[in-house]
Structure 1
Amino acid sequence: MKLSILILLTVFCVVGTFGQDKKLAADLFEVGNFEEALEEYLLLVEEDPGSLEYNYNLAVCYLNTNIDKSLAIEPLERVTKNPKIIADAYYLLGRAYHYGYQFDKAIDAFNEFIATGKGSDLNRENVDKQIEYCENARELMKFPKSVDFENLGPQINSRYADYFPFVPRDEKFVIFNSNREDRKREPMMNGAYLPTIYISYVEDGKFSEAVEVPGIKGSEEIKQEIVGLNGDGTQAVLYFEDFNFEGDLYESGVEGKGIKKPKVLPDVINSKKYTEIAGCFTDDNQKFYFASNRPEGYGGVDIYMCQRLPNGKWSMAQNLGPTINTSEDEDFPNISPDGKYLFFSSKGHASMGGYDIFRAEWDEVKRKFTKVQNMGYPINTPEDNMNFRMSETGKYGYISAVRAEGYGDKDIYRVNFKDIEPRYTVIKGTVTNSLDKKFEDIFIQVVDAETDEIFGDYLPNDKTNRYVIILPPGNYYLYVAAYGYQEIFEEVEILDKSSFKSFIDWDFVMEPVEEE
């Protein structure tokens, strides 16, 4: 009798807890807190693997977080095998395959969705575009760009979204937005925190610990982001969004480690009923490029330009035209340090999924940007790729991206274009000895400290004992040897970014081997 009561109590407790978990999952899902809802639906699917609702909602959670979105494939495959299939599940399965780089399967799933003749109006409207994205991605991945990605590390990135990085031409700092936990604020209903602007300065060739940017005034309940920076890093563009989700652009000076009080940009840039999203000044402060969803464009969000007038005011906004703008969205204009290229994001050109980053070239004869090109894979991915900032040399770019090696959400990366030569540091000097005698042989060897591979062997001039070594940025071991003298071992770091040095003078004095 006691055993029966114990079993009955256990069953009631499990059912009660299970019901609470289901309600908690549904409540979190309803308010868009997909990250926490995902944890609950994982437990529910474990309890009831065949549930159509739990598997479908679990997949929706995966697709709405910056966790690996391809993890939605497994629950959606279970859903699509169910006779009571939800029509939109085929569409979502196509999206999940797309994120997982399974483009043929994605296209098949999208075609299955079309064949049902059902599903939401929005998904039916977008399905052809999704198929086009898959076809574009398949082609772009045949010709990958030769690049490396350097995660800027835990001093910059967190487990939260860190995004929209901007650097001046000399890379002396990086300024960016972060949704990381903020003890001063309560999270929103969806579990996320409003973004905060952070900055990190280069010290001895490396980025320091990022700190919150002081000096930004305004309500802590209003969304504030950095969305632009001029070439020398003295003038920032900020985006402020109000409670009606309408946003305007502000300009602010950058000095020290803070930002001056922002000033709203004039009405020719900020429209009254529409949203301006991102912008940038040219280095001479004579042009301002920005993105807006005002209705006179080619559709969605377009990129516009205002010219500085002789009286110091801005001209009326000019649409950059159909070469740049499409019926879809274009956003985040960034001018290269030399003014020759416009980088921007677009859903409408040949994108491999959502927003891709594109580059347009300035034509001096036509006086406009032309030759729009996709920046290619792996800079662009099936995820949204929004913002790209190029260094002065063109060797490096800065992006935010979701990658497997990241810290949990969007991270900030430095992209190394391997086809472009880095800046080199010339080390030169003489090798002498304390006895002031002529050497029989002098030998210098440089070893890459990261790989332990020999970078180069060098022989100083026989008569002058002068040597020259040319090295790209990195860490090295340097050995100096000569017959009858004690070997010299030194570690050398060739600094990059704003700490870069073109020349280093370095003389060595060798001591004789002590006789036993």
Structure 2
Amino acid sequence: MRIFFLLLFFLISFIATAQKTFWASKVVAFSSEYSDAKTTKENRAIQALGKPSKLPQVGISACAWQPLTQNNTQEEFLIVSFDTLMPIQQVAIAENYGQGSIVRVEAFDEFDNLKTLWINRSAPSNEIGKMLNLVLSKPTPYKVRSIKIVLNTTRTKGWTQIDAIGISQATTPIRAVVNVAKNLPAAVLKENLGSNINSAYREIAPVISPDGKTLYYTRWEHPENLGKDKNQDIWYSELQNDRKWSMARPMAAPINNTEHNAICAISPDGKTILLNNVYLKDGSMLKGVSMSTKNDRGWDFPKALAIKNFNNKSDYAEYSFSPNGRVLILTGQFRETNGGKDIYLSFQQPDGTWSEPVNAGKVINTAEDEGTPFIAADGKTLYFSTRGLSGYGSSDIFVTRRLDDTWLKWSEPENLGAGINTPEWDGYFSVSALGDYAYYSSQENSIGDEDIFKFKVPESIKPETVIQLTGGVFNYVDKKLIDAKIKVQSLTDADTVCVTFDPQTGDYKLMLPAKKTYSISASKKGFMPFSEILDFSKENNFKEIKKNIFLLPIEAGQRMTLNSVFFEQSKFDILPNSYPELDRIVVVMKENPTMEIMLEGHTDNQGDWNANLTLSKQRVEEVKKYLADKGVDMKRIQTQGYGSTRPVASNNSEEKRKFNRRVEFMIVKN
């Protein structure tokens, strides 16, 4: 029986290997490759590696190998190897341009002997490009180490390009396919947003606010744009109660000026916007990116982000930023480019500056231009446009997911499908935190040169679910709004969000990925810090949660519960997730050196009465010890354990009993 299963396993493995296509993984040698002063890795021999980047479309591509010259009377060749050593029965060559130039295909065996597989004795066809499938009558009697393609570029007019080279043991012709996202509907209803948004002019780059209620976009050469050249200005529209968009209006100065203005992204609370270019006081612009914050008087003058070694060789750039505001996603041509304009990442430093842009990697960047990045409210799902991956038009929209906290590992990009992408240029994808509708720019069926459209987002390309947390910060005593700093820390990973609450600009608003547990804290000088645990680990759907925060003024007699201090079950050992709140108390006591406090311990009524009393005393003594170890004089800390004698809720259910298990903090002297 064991032998049978082993044989079955090897048979399944053999069938899987026989059916698999192995694409070239290494360049061994080549006769020449295209290069000029304006290119980096475009059309180099390495562009023939991996899966097809152009096919099933045909035409010129920077993601294909191109010999240095056209109509070379000498033969050109390319030799590539694979991540396998096996007999083969098929070679597939993606001829994306100059089809018919291949005159010979040869193979090197495992001992580097050269074997001829095919000689082209036919005249070139009139096809621009195609997948050349060489299916052998039987598998090679030797294992193939590498493949050599020989070209006679005089056989066709213009350039010759090779997109990819694959081998297989299968006889079914290898085809180039578009990597389409799974389970997309056959048709997607795309709605032109109409004349309140679109015009006879060009509308691009929509940015929907996270709450889905304000749409910003860029409009070209409209008569109401500023400046004599009417360059490009930022316009916006608001969603009305009838679910229709208001007539769009241009943003006022200083956001719009006589130069080219464009919005790139907006923060979860809608109070900070990212703008293309650096604004100078004289009205001129420089390359870069700026940030403007909304206050009670409107949008302030955009401030440039200081990005280390920002030297973009491309004339164009786009930007997006993570929901926590600490990661900048940008496009441009910096060091380590894969060719053309790539997606890069810059990280905010402790001093507020930004790190040198780091290339996001070959999984999402190609030798063609990548652009229009948009990171969703979940901080993981990235949408962008490129023509460097197989698609349906001159530029398609793709989705990829961040795989770890480095921001440098991404899933293989998936095309949003022919129902969304068109034969024309598509890009500037934006989706609200709710994840219901997406907005993007397209030329297909547009009123003018380019319009803004929306469609209902198919489930498989939606961002992960987020929770919208909103509210205000109040003085616990008089219930009046106060400004404060708010910090939300994930207890699941390293993600942290910090915002400053200003009562003049409305509630704070945070977008937090669901299925996690968070600690929320707030602080203001003269008040005791606040913290609480928010458990969203079981939330599967978008939800708006109102969370008002009350800060206790540092005054004798004031009392508060330490909501984020935890102990091991039935023990007095402090759990590590309690440290942040206790550390905040240390800071306050050091800032107020005359303040004295009382720590009171409480339990529920489960178990032995005396044991609970002892446990409550032990727990507050442990908190006192922690504070003392951090530099607080023990003489300033009194303790008292009350066991189960002072409940604040019923003990009839676990849901209510948990409120009775607590440590309270009272200011004895300030």
Normalising by the residue count of structure 2, what TM-score does the alignment of the two structures yield?
0.40
CA distance in 2, matches of 1:135, 1:210: 43
Deviations 1:253-285 (CA, angstroms, capped at 9, x unpaired):
256896432222214273265546111121111
Match runs of 1:38-187 below 5 Å: 110=128, 117-118=156-157, 124=159, 145-182=186-223
SS in 2 for 1:398: strand
Return closer, same or farther for 1:177/1:139 CA change in 2, 3 Å cut-off. Answer: closer
How many angstroms apart in 1 are the aligned matches of 2:311 and 2:287? 9
Q: Specify which structure has the higher proportion of helix.
A: 1
* Corresponding residue of 2:234: 197
Q: C-alpha displacement at 1:365, in angstroms? A: 8.0
Q: Supply the distance in 2 between the matched residues of 1:272 and 1:346 (Cα, whole angstroms).
A: 18
Q: 1:126 to 1:195 in 2, by over 3 A?
A: farther
Corresponding residue for 1:209? Answer: 247
The alignment status of 1:288 with 2:328, answered yes or no, reads: yes
Deviation at 1:299, TM superposition (A): 0.9
1:324 aligns with 364
Task: Kindly indicate whether the alpha-carbon contact (under 8 Å) linking 1:199 and 1:257 is maintained by their aligned counterparts in 2.
Answer: no
Give the aligned partner of residue 345 of structure 1: 385
Q: Is the 8 A contact 2:181 2:414 kept in 1?
A: no
Q: Which residue of 2 aligns with 1:264?
A: 304
Match of 1:355 among 395, 399, 410: 395
Give 1:127 deviation, angstroms.
Answer: 10
The one-letter code of the counterpart of 1:407 is I
- Mark the CA change 1:364 to 1:139 in structure 2 (over 3 Å): closer, same or farther: closer
Tell me the alpha carbon deviations over residues 451-508 of structure 1, each in whole angstroms, 9 at most, x when there is no partner: xxxxxxxxxxxxxxxxxxxxxxxxxxxxxxxxxxxxxxxxxxxxxxx9x99xxxxxxx
Q: Secondary structure at the match of 2:411?
A: strand
1:224 lines up with 2:264 in the alignment: no
Q: Provide the C-alpha distance between the structure 2 equivalents of 1:314 and 1:382, rounded to a whole number of angstroms.
A: 38
Query: Does structure 1 conserve the Cα–Cα contact (< 8 Å) formed by 2:255 and 2:261?
Result: no
Q: Which residue of 1 aligns with 2:650?
A: none
Deviations 1:81-128 (A, max 9, x none): xxxxxxxxxx9xxxxxxxxxxxxxxx966359x999446xxxx47897
Residues 125 and 261 of structure 1: CA distance in aligned 2, closer, same or farther (over 3 Å): farther
- Give the Å deviation of 1:162: 0.8
* Rg comparison, structure with higher value: 2
**One-letter code aligned to 1:152:** L
Do the aligned partners of residues 118 and 409 (structure 1) sit closer, same or farther apart at CA in structure 2, a change above 3 Å counting?
same
Does structure 1 conserve the Cα–Cα contact (< 8 Å) formed by 2:202 and 2:219?
Answer: yes
Q: d(CA) in 2 for partners of 1:311 and 1:186?
A: 37
Return the alpha-carbon distance in structure 1 between the equivalents of residues 387 and 378 of structure 2.
Answer: 26
Structure number with the bigger relative contact order (C-alpha 8 A, sep ≥ 6) is 1
- Which residue in the other structure is 1:302 paired with? 342
Tell me the equivalent position of 2:276. Answer: 239
Uncovered stretches (5+) of structure 2, i.e. residues with no partner:
1-95, 97-124, 131-152, 165-174, 466-541, 546-670
Structure 2 equivalent of residue 53 of structure 1: none
Query: 1:219 Cα deviation (Å)?
Result: 5.5
CA gap 1:356/1:179 in 2 versus in 1, 3 angstroms: same
Do 2:439 and 2:455's aligned partners in 1 also have CA atoms closer than 8 Å? yes
What corresponds to 2:436 in structure 1? 395
**Partners in 2 of 1:165 and 1:137 — Cα distance?**
26
Cα deviation digits, residues 323-354 of structure 1 (max 9, x gap) = 11112111122111111211111121223222
Structure 1: distance between partners of 2:428 and 2:161 = 23
Calculate the aligned-residue CA RMSD, in Å: 4.3
Deviations 1:374-429 (A, max 9, x none): 1111211121112101122322111111232x3232111111136589x9xxxxxx
Q: Structure 1: which 4+ aligned runs deviate by more than 4 Å?
A: 114-119, 125-129, 134-146, 183-188, 254-258, 272-276, 418-421
Give 3-state SS (helix, strand or coil) of 2:128's partner: helix
Measure, in 1, the Cα distance between the counterparts of 2:126 and 2:391. 19
Q: Scaled by the length of structure 1, what TM-score is found?
A: 0.51
Report % sequence identity.
27
Q: Is the 8 A contact 2:278 2:303 kept in 1?
A: no
Q: Secondary structure at the match of 1:206?
A: coil
Q: How many residues matched?
A: 307
Contact 2:334 2:357 in 1 (8 A): no
Structure 1 residues not aligned, in runs of 5+: 1-90, 92-106, 424-497, 502-516
Question: Which residue in the other structure is 1:63 paired with?
Answer: none
Q: Quick check: 1:251 aligned with 2:298?
A: no
In 2, distance between residues paired with 1:257 and 1:155? Answer: 26
> Residue 325 of structure 1 aligns to a residue in which SS?
coil
